[in-house]
Amino acid sequence: MRLEDLGLIGNCQYSALIENTGEVVWCCLPRFDSEPVFSTLLDERSGGRFVVGAPDGSRGQQRYLDNSNVLETVFHSAEGAFRVLDFAPRFAQHERMFRPTQMFRIVEPINGTPRIRVLCEPRLGWSKAQPPALQGSNHIQYDGFTSPLRLTTDIPPSYLNGQPFALTERRHLALTWGAPIEEPLAGLSDRFLHDTLRYWRRWVKHCNIPPMFQQEVIRSALALKLHCFEDTGAIVAAMTTSIPEAAGSGRTWDYRYCWLRDAYYALEAFRLLGHFEEREKFTVFLLNIAGDRPDLALAPLYRVDGTRNLDERILADWPGFSGDGPVRVGNAAASQIQHDIFGEMVLALAPVFFDDRFSAERTPASLALLERLTRRAIALAGTPDAGIWEYRTDVKPQTFSSLMSWAAADRMAALSARHAPAQTAEWRKAAETLREQIVARAWNPRLNAFTASYGGDDLDASLLEMANLRFLPVDDPRLHSTIDAIRAGLSQDGWLLRYRLDDGFGRPTVAFLICSFWLVEALAATGRTAEARDIMVHINGACSPLGLLSEDCETASRRMWGNFPQAYSHVGLIHAAFAASPRWSEVL
């Protein structure tokens, strides 16, 4: 199985990955961090599957219907051709968003009399137990789940066991979690398809896009939107768990959760896109998380409902992606000490006091929270932590964490000038002190660059963010030489590694995609736009045929690795595209 052969559908309640064979290979219900119902992504032999495809298992050609998250897979054979339309309903109804935990699959002949195969074999989560199936006249109900799971269809039930049959007319399948469908299926499916297409196309029309890299930004925006859990506003890092960062690496992590670190960058992506609602919902989620901890004992990541029960365990009876394990559930990083999250929380929440549309969230309590977060960030600067890369080795004072502490103090100084002038001098002094500390302790004259840790000798791609955060003036030679050193020292076939040090799992061998997007932003921020655009064109080659991105890229083969799709990679693409592209006023 290859990530390049997978398409994503969803509706901000759940998601599913569908291979170009027509098989649903991954789907957790009723939400992103639930146990999987379909799971051949991690166990091709015993995992649950839902197939609507060719009898011989051959691959079709996938595409998204224009400006939507409706996936089309077209199959050709000697008997004829057919297509499968897969989608999760999402549209406005009764003045609220309708996003049921339902998957619709519409299959129709294109020419000839093609033969197809349909097989639905869900599994009871991590146990992989087969649920009892009760067959009705036009449905199959699967028992044993926490809510009723039912497949309703106008295909004869006798054909639902994988037996090939001739497709002579348009057919419909609807998998529902919870309340079953109680109205004519064909009309309902067609109406839901029409309304879902209309919703996504209208949403795209409301997106800002840059003059260059338009299709890449549109697809990344649509993919990022599917990572939003609308019930709480949380945004998950990825839809999957345990896809290794590289073959045989053992680097398999569960990413179906919300990282506080990602908040600022994701919120900024939605700001660039011009979508306020997603920003507001995620901001409220962050305020709830931080407001629930008066002591600011924040975890680096949370479940989509805001809880933090994320004990990590290994499932020994799951072979893993292409047999490459281990399969992990939960994430031990939730218990790590990561000091950068306090600065990133300040960056994420600061717009509440700069953007007047956040009037409901702009309260004395919110301002007090920002002050406490900033004081915590300042106090922790220069002290050891696991850092942005979540090292599972000995901790050190991470330069990036201190950079985020500086950013918190710097932004708080600007914010207080508007809302608490008496504190402005304090924050400005703190920011300047932190800048001096970082320059004194993280600058390496031999490398002519800032390094990953205080007094260290290792380069770190995350320090490219110095340019975007305005840590130094854009013409400061130390900023340019750091960018050049990272580019030269961490480059691999035109992409960037995170770092080259041994992190306890060996030295990384694959590019971490967001790092290359950071490089594009850094070059653009320092006036090197032509270089930024050249790199942007090159790294867009890492996208799948559908325009989706994973976390990592094996640069020689351009094969994707890591959890998929990866919100952070798509966020990085959006930022980089806007940075490298001219403004519309320069084009029109």
CATH code of residue 566: 1.50.10.10
Both tokens of residue 324? 């490459």
Mean pLDDT for 244-263 is 93
Residues 6+ apart with CB under 8 A from 556: 493
Q: With beta carbons less than 8 A apart as the criterion, state whether 533 and 212 touch.
A: yes
101 shares its domain with 160: yes
Give me the pLDDT at residue 104, please: 98
User: Residue 355: is it exposed, middle or buried by C-beta count within 10 angstroms (0-12/13-18/19+)?
Assistant: middle
281 lies in a domain? yes
pLDDT digits (tens, 9 = 90+) for 377-408: 999 999 999 888 888 777 889 999 999 999 99
Count of domains forming the chain: 2
CATH of the domain at 42: 2.70.98
Q: With beta carbons less than 8 A apart as the criterion, state whether 302 and 263 touch.
A: no
255 lies in a domain? yes
Neighbouring CB atoms inside 10 A of 537's CB total: 13
173 lies in a domain? yes
pLDDT at 505 exceeding the cut of 80: no
Q: With beta carbons less than 8 A apart as the criterion, state whether 542 and 522 touch.
A: no
Residue 370: give the domain boundaries: 206-583
pLDDT grade for 291, boundaries at 50, 70 and 90:
confident
CA separation for the pair 99, 84 (Å, rounded): 21
566 lies in a domain? yes
CA separation for the pair 383, 390 (Å, rounded): 15
545 shares its domain with 576: yes
- Amino acid making up residue 395: V
Neighbouring CB atoms inside 10 A of 306's CB total: 15
Please report how the helices 364-380 and 340-349 are oriented relative to each other, as an axis angle in degrees rounded to 10. Answer: 150
Q: With beta carbons less than 8 A apart as the criterion, state whether 23 and 75 touch.
A: no
CA separation for the pair 299, 338 (Å, rounded): 8
211 lies in a domain? yes
Mean pLDDT for 521-535 is 97
211 shares its domain with 302: yes
26 shares its domain with 152: yes
Average pLDDT across the chain, whole number: 95
Mean pLDDT for 354-375 is 95
Mean pLDDT for 537-554 is 94
pLDDT at 444 exceeding the cut of 80: yes
588 lies in a domain? no
114 shares its domain with 127: yes
Mean pLDDT for 297-326 is 95
Give me the pLDDT at residue 387, please: 86
502 shares its domain with 568: yes
Give me the pLDDT at residue 567, please: 97
Half-sphere exposure of 455 (CA within 13 A, CB side): 5
214 shares its domain with 188: no
- Paired residues of 301 in beta bridges: 259
Neighbouring CB atoms inside 10 A of 148's CB total: 13
pLDDT digits (tens, 9 = 90+) for 454-473: 999 999 999 999 999 999 99
Of 145, 180, 204, at which residue does a domain stop? 204
Considering the entire predicted model, what is its pTM?
0.96
Give me the pLDDT at residue 95, please: 87
Identify the DSSP state of 561.
E
200 shares its domain with 210: no
Of 152, 176, 204, at which residue does a domain stop? 204
Of 204, 227, 255, at which residue does a domain stop? 204
| Residue indicated by tokens 């004194």 | 440
Q: With beta carbons less than 8 A apart as the criterion, state whether 469 and 265 touch.
A: no
State how far the alpha carbon of 119 is from the alpha carbons of 54, 57, 122, 459, 477, in Å: 11, 12, 10, 50, 62
- Amino acid making up residue 428: R
pLDDT at 483 exceeding the cut of 90: yes
pLDDT at 293 exceeding the cut of 90: no
Per DSSP, the residues of 231-247 read TTTEE-SBS-B---SST
Both tokens of residue 331? 């994430």
519 lies in a domain? yes
Neighbouring CB atoms inside 10 A of 206's CB total: 11
124 shares its domain with 261: no
Give me the pLDDT at residue 40, please: 98
pLDDT digits (tens, 9 = 90+) for 85-116: 999 999 999 889 999 999 999 999 999 999 99
193 shares its domain with 210: no
Give me the pLDDT at residue 501, please: 87
Per DSSP, the residues of 94-123 read TTEEE--SEEEEEEEEEEE--EEEEEEE--
CA separation for the pair 111, 463 (Å, rounded): 55
175 shares its domain with 289: no
Among 9, 54, 48, 184, smallest CA distance to 126 is for: 48
111 lies in a domain? yes
pLDDT digits (tens, 9 = 90+) for 6-28: 999 999 999 999 999 999 999 99
Mean pLDDT for 343-353 is 96
Give me the pLDDT at residue 468, please: 96
Mean pLDDT for 484-512 is 91
Both tokens of residue 577? 């595209």
229 shares its domain with 181: no
